[in-house]
């Protein structure tokens, strides 16, 4: 479970990036966070990963305060970034092997890696290719495979579907649904309203560091999410 309690971040230049965020992503839930660039979506992820310290408030992963026990909390979270480039001179096997070992899993075999790579839909003949020859979709799948094999119950994704073609995007979403169904908490920051609507259990709109709207899948039934988003943002602006 991911939980933010009054989580606030003000940068050195005085910019308020996150303003008292209170949020809980339950196990078996996909939460999609929308917002313009600079709204605070990535800051939230950075705070959960302890890449930056909070100004106030707490970020909890499985009940562990990430600011107090950063290394311990990272055992329970996986991360997929917007643009997974990985090590271009490494093959998929070499990349997954390195990051799996960093995650503390040392006894996995090549067959385990192959299963993880297959589970995200990566073609077998690409496993031994250098990843610099991969398309963006293939790299994102590999990034997700690294997250999958870590086996952490929480997954943070920072705009993972941006730049993916429709087919790759759909495959990617299917993987997230599968992870959700396995009981993982999934937090995804995204601009991709269309795709997010298909999989999100809850959505949130962020503006200038504030969570300005929170809706469940049931709330969204019959709603045009894109229109709602634009309308909501404009209202708030006014």
Q: Can you read off the two tokens belonging to residue 142?
A: 């590999």
Quick one: which of 6, 56, 102, 177 contacts other proteins (CB under 8 A)?
102
57-96 footprint of other proteins as x/- string (CB under 8 A): --------------xx-xx-xxx-xxxxxxx-xx---x--
Q: Can you read off the two tokens belonging to residue 216?
A: 């469940």
110 binds other proteins (CB under 8 A): no
Q: Please, what is the minimum distance in Å from the beta carbon of residue 13 to other proteins? A: 13
What DSSP letter does each residue of 197-222 carry, written as one string?
HHH-SEEEEEETTEEEEEEEHHHHTT
Distance CA 52, CA 36 (A): 21
Q: Please, what is the minimum distance in Å from the beta carbon of residue 55 to other proteins? A: 15
Quick one: which of 10, 55, 67, 98 contacts other proteins (CB under 8 A)?
98
Per the rule left: phi > 0, alpha: psi between -120 and 50, beta: everything else, 5 is beta
Strand arrangement of the beta sheet that strand 77-80 belongs to: 77-80, 154-158, 185-189, 29-35, 202-207, 210-216
232, 156, 221: which is closest to 187 by C-alpha?
A: 156
194 binds other proteins (CB under 8 A): no
143 binds other proteins (CB under 8 A): yes
Segment interacting with other proteins, rule: CB under 8 A, options 30-38, 100-108, 178-186, 218-226: 100-108
Residues that bind other proteins (CB under 8 A): 42, 46, 49, 51-52, 71-72, 74-75, 77-79, 81-87, 89-90, 94, 98-99, 101-104, 143, 146, 150, 156
């Amino acid at each position: 479970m991911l939980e933010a309690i009054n989580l606030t971040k003000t940068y050195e230049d005085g910019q308020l990036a996150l303003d008292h965020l209170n949020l809980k992503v339950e196990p078996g839930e996909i939460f999609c966070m929308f917002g313009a660039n600079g709204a605070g979506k990535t800051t939230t992820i950075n705070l959960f990963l302890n890449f930056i310290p909070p100004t106030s408030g707490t970020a909890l992963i499985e009940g562990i305060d990430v600011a107090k026990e950063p290394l311990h909390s990272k055992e329970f979270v996986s991360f997929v970034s917007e643009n997974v480039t990985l090590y271009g001179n490494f093959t998929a096997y070499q990349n997954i092997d390195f990051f799996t070992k960093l995650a503390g899993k040392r006894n996995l075999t090549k067959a385990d890696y192959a299963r993880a790579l297959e589970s995200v839909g990566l073609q077998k003949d690409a496993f031994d290719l250098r990843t610099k020859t991969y398309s963006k979709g293939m790299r994102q799948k590999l990034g997700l495979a690294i997250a999958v094999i870590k086996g952490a119950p929480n997954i943070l994704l920072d705009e993972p579907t941006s730049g993916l073609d429709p087919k790759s995007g759909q495959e990617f979403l299917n993987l997230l649904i599968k992870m959700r169904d396995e009981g993982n908490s999934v937090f995804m920051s995204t601009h991709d309203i269309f795709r997010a609507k298909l999989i999100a259990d809850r959505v949130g709109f962020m503006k200038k560091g504030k969570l300005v709207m929170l809706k469940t899948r049931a709330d969204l039934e019959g709603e045009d999410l894109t229109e709602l988003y634009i309308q909501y943002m404009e209202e708030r602006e006014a």
